[in-house]
């Protein structure tokens, strides 16, 4: 018969995981996602399973928890595969090169980072999806920033800051709908109340990026821009008509078409535009010059499933024009599965519950309750490795606690978003952190210091609670 796991036992797998991940960073550097972190998660899951077994949990129950967790992450993994295929067809069709070409004409280095946050915010606000924003306009903005001479981590930090701001407050976002549902308030009350912490976080983020932009020294940026634009013109048929592809995808998403069919439509549309606008690229990718139908078929499928690169006479530009397709996402999917195995064992054995119950007992005042909620959401992002779990589980756990303490449910829903939604992308093995790192080609720990909005948001939530500014309580009536 299973028994309640003691708190110190529950912490053993977590400490073991942190130790292995630290060793991975020390020995593997930026290459931890190629297998080292996956093995660390699986070994930590094994440690948790052994502890669970000696506490009376049988393998059948543990396995059921693992399968349930992996099943919950399956939509994210399917989306990840389609993002890989979309990136491939958008590259060979000239959509991304066209975005880079015109972006270089418009965006001056001094305001580039500031503009990147604003553009990413607007697209994410319109679509309600940080993932779609990063995979489309984010990839183009990264190419523009690299051509201007900015570091990849700085650019990715600006993209992610904007994308997660829009995702956080868009009524179309799944997390924005999920948080108030868990807390027991309505959507628009939740969004309005979030503005108290979200707007200051965004303003501070924009000011920081503006200061960085005006102080950065890029002496050769003009020659770099001219060189990149000339190479793009020489290798692609650049045309404003190619903007039809992202415009159609954004329209589809705004119409609330689910992510999988939306991304598939964007992928296929990219392949069609590649055949129409870039026949020479089709021939280059396929290696077939005497049968255009065969070349189109091979190039389209290859860009969806495998690694492709448009070869130019410049190595830097070649790196901008390289995609990995679905195959390039397999390491990330492996990481997500490994994380779900660890989270599944911890959940099925009651270890997560033991740790979170200990955390809940510490919350009494508004500041301690908000701080505890923030810490719990981040804890679930680290251990359960899924953004939705970091909202759903703390939401259920704290709902009655907030009510008993006399706090309005929108305080809880706001705190869930301030911490659960935005910090998920800062964890390398979380579904969000692993995905965005792979899509942008920038390791999570490289962009983490520059994802200012995501770092500031949970801190702002605690600051607002500490000063008691507009902390709503449940009226006696």
Query: What is the band of 56 on the pLDDT scale with cuts at 50, 70, 90?
Result: confident
pLDDT at 189 over 70: yes
Among 222-231, 235-244, 421-430, whose mean pLDDT is lowest? Answer: 222-231
Buried b (16+ CB within 10 A) or exposed e, 59-94: eeebeebbeebbebbeebbebbbbbbbbbbbbbbbb
* Separation of first and last alpha carbons in the chain: 47
pLDDT value of position 38 = 86
Average pLDDT, the chain: 86
309: three-class secondary structure by DSSP: strand
In tens, the pLDDT along 308-341 reads 888 888 776 777 788 888 998 888 788 778 888 8
pLDDT at 231 over 60: yes
Average pLDDT on 250-266 reads 84
> Which residues on neighbouring strands pair with residue 308, listed in sequence order?
323
Q: What does residue 306 show for φ and ψ, rounded to 5 degrees?
A: -130, -175
- What are the residues whose beta carbons fall under 8 Å from the beta carbon of 149, sequence distance 6 or more? 109, 218, 220, 221, 224
pLDDT value of position 216 = 81
Average pLDDT on 273-285 reads 94
pLDDT at 475 over 70: no
pLDDT value of position 49 = 93
Among 273-287, 362-376, 431-445, whose mean pLDDT is lowest? Answer: 362-376
pLDDT value of position 223 = 65
Residue 276 tokens read as 């129409």
pTM (predicted TM-score): 0.76
In tens, the pLDDT along 285-314 reads 998 989 999 999 999 999 999 988 888 887
pLDDT at 350 over 70: yes
CB contact at 8 A, 124 and 170: yes
Among 245-254, 397-406, 411-420, whose mean pLDDT is lowest? Answer: 397-406
pLDDT at 269 over 90: yes
* Distance from C-alpha of 431 to C-alpha of 444, rounded to nearest angstrom: 11
pLDDT value of position 219 = 63
CA distances for 397 relative to 27, 61, 345, 364, angstroms: 38, 22, 19, 14
The owner of tokens 């008993």 is 404
């Amino acid at each position: 018969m299973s028994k309640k796991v003691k708190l110190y036992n529950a912490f053993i797998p977590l400490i073991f995981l942190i130790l292995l991940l630290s060793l991975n960073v020390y020995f593997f550097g930026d290459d931890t996602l190629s297998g080292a972190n996956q093995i660390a998660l699986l070994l930590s899951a094994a440690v948790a399973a052994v502890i669970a077994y000696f506490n009376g949990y049988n393998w059948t129950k543990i396995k059921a928890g693992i399968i349930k967790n992996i099943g919950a992450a399956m939509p994210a993994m399917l989306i990840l595969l389609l993002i890989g295929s979309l990136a491939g067809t958008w590259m060979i069709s000239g959509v991304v090169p066209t975005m880079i070409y015109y972006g270089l004409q418009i965006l001056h280095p001094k305001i580039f980072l500031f503009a990147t946050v604003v553009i990413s915010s607007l697209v994410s606000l319109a679509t309600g999806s940080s993932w779609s924003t990063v995979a489309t306009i984010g990839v183009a903005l990264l190419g523009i920033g690299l051509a201007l001479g900015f570091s990849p981590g700085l650019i990715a930090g600006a993209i992610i800051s904007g994308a997660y701001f829009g995702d956080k407050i868009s009524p179309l976002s799944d997390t924005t709908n999920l948080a108030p549902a868990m807390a027991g308030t309505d959507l628009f009350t939740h969004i309005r109340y979030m503005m108290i912490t979200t707007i200051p976080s965004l303003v501070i983020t924009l000011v920081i990026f503006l200061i960085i932009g005006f102080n950065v020294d890029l002496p050769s940026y003009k020659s770099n821009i001219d060189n990149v634009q000339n190479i793009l013109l020489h290798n692609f048929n650049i045309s404003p008509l190619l903007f039809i592809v992202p415009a159609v995808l954004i329209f589809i998403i705004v119409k609330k078409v689910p992510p999988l069919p939306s991304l598939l439509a964007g992928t296929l549309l990219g392949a069609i535009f590649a055949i129409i606008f870039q026949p020479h690229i089709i021939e280059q990718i396929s290696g077939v010059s005497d049968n255009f139908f065969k070349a189109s078929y091979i190039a389209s499928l290859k860009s969806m499933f495998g690694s492709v690169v448009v070869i130019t006479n410049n190595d830097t530009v070649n790196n901008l024009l390289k995609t990995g397709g679905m195959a390039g996402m397999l390491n990330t999917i492996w990481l997500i599965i490994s994380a779900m195995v660890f989270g599944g064992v911890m959940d099925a054995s009651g270890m997560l519950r033991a740790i979170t119950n200990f955390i809940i007992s510490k919350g009494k005042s508004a500041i301690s309750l908000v701080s505890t909620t923030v810490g719990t959401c981040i804890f679930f992002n680290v251990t359960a490795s899924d953004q939705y779990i970091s909202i759903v589980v703390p939401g259920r756990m704290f709902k009655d606690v907030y009510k008993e303490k006399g706090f309005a449910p929108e305080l809880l829903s706001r705190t869930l978003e301030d911490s659960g939604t935005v910090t998920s992308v800062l964890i390398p093995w979380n579904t969000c952190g692993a995905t965005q790192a792979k899509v942008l080609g920038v390791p999570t720990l490289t962009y983490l210091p520059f994802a200012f909005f995501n770092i500031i948001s949970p801190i702002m939530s605690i600051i607002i609670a500490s000063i008691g500014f507009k902390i709503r309580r449940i009226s006696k009536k």
